Amino acid sequence: MSLLMRERDRELRRRRHRRQKIRNLLARIQAAKSREEKQRLVQKALRIAPWRYAEFQKLLA
């Protein structure tokens, strides 16, 4: 396997893992009872995927 293929495989694995983590966090945000808990989870999601800021902020409204 070439070096580029290994690099690409790592990149894809990282992206898939990130997507799964975001899905899990979104489910936890939906299930959260208190506003503080939701804020904590949204901050965690923002650390993982900062480019989705607007989407995560809508969950707090």
User: DSSP letters of 1-61?
Assistant: --HHHHHHHHHHHHHHHHHHHHHHHHHHHHH--SHHHHHHHHHHHHHH-GGGHHHHHHTT-
pLDDT value at 1 more than 80: no
pLDDT in tens, 4-57: 889 999 999 999 999 999 999 999 999 999 999 999 999 999 999 999 999 999
Ordered by start, the domain boundaries in the chain are: 3-58
Its pTM stands at 0.81
Helix 35-48 vs helix 3-31: angle between axes, to the nearest 10 degrees? 170
Model pLDDT for residues 45-54, shown as the tens digit of each residue:
999 999 999 9
| Cβ atoms of residues 41 and 28 within 8 Å | yes
- pLDDT value for 61: 81
